[in-house]
Amino acid sequence: KQEVTQIPAALSVPEGENLVLNCSFTDSAIYNLQWFRQDPGKGLTSLLLIQSSQREQTSGRLNASLDKSSGRSTLYIAASQPGDSATYLCAVRRTTSGTYKYIFGTGTRLKVLA
Amino acid sequence: DAGVTQSPTHLIKTRGQQVTLRCSPKSGHDTVSWYQQALGQGPQFIFQYYEEEERQRGNFPDRFSGHQFPNYSSELNVNALLLGDSALYLCASSLVLTDTEAFFGQGTRLTVV
């Protein structure tokens, strides 16, 4: 059974710091891995998607890496800003009988202090 | 493009009642999945609909049921509501033939009192 774990559960940093969020998964047979941002009480905003054949993806100040063999992904946020404060969710997508579904971690709650 | 839209945004129901949540997929998408997100947890897969049929179901009781219409929109129905059904319900849409990622709506916050 696929399980996704995110460490740390919460993080508080001063503005300007570079930070790393970690995600681990137990089964390497994934279709892709995706990082989402969620503001309180809101839906999910996709940040980065990494296909299983890729090693990393970058978007602006965000960089996500994927190591399938070790079952790990990291989300790197450069020069953090108060507007980055949110919960960050990692999800792996896998297929079962042709149906794709996401399996999510419990998230990392990030607070960036001004 | 309106993206994935869900209605209503908030809902308060009493234990034992029934509720229907609605989802309109992103334009061009034909597959709808529903997720339940309890407070402080990651979303959990409920079920997925394609061609008006339930394709796969997560570990949820039969009180949770759904429907997909010919225009690809979908409903999630929950009967005999329990306090533990209080959660954010998220709808995600995708296109089955090029299924690289799904797009999520803003969710419906259900509170059962």
Distances (CA, A) of B48 to B32, B44, B75: 6, 12, 11
- What confidence tens digit (pLDDT) does each residue in B21-61 have? 999 999 989 999 999 999 999 999 999 999 999 988 999 99
Q: What is the pLDDT of residue A2?
A: 87
Each residue's pLDDT tens digit, A31-78 = 889 999 999 988 999 999 998 899 999 999 999 999 999 999 999 999
pLDDT above 70 for A95:
no
Q: Which of A32, A41, A104 sits opposite B42 (nearest CB)?
A: A104
Q: What dihedral angle (degrees, nearest 10) is formed by the CA atoms of A67, A68, A72, A75? A: 60
Do the chains contact at A105 and B42, CB–CB below 8 Å?
yes
**Cβ pair B48:A89 closer than 8 A:** no
Of B45, B105, B107, which has the smallest distance from its Cβ to A102's Cβ? B45
Q: Which residue of chain B has the CA closest to A48?
A: B101
Q: How many CA atoms does the CB half-sphere of B44 hold within 13 Å? A: 13
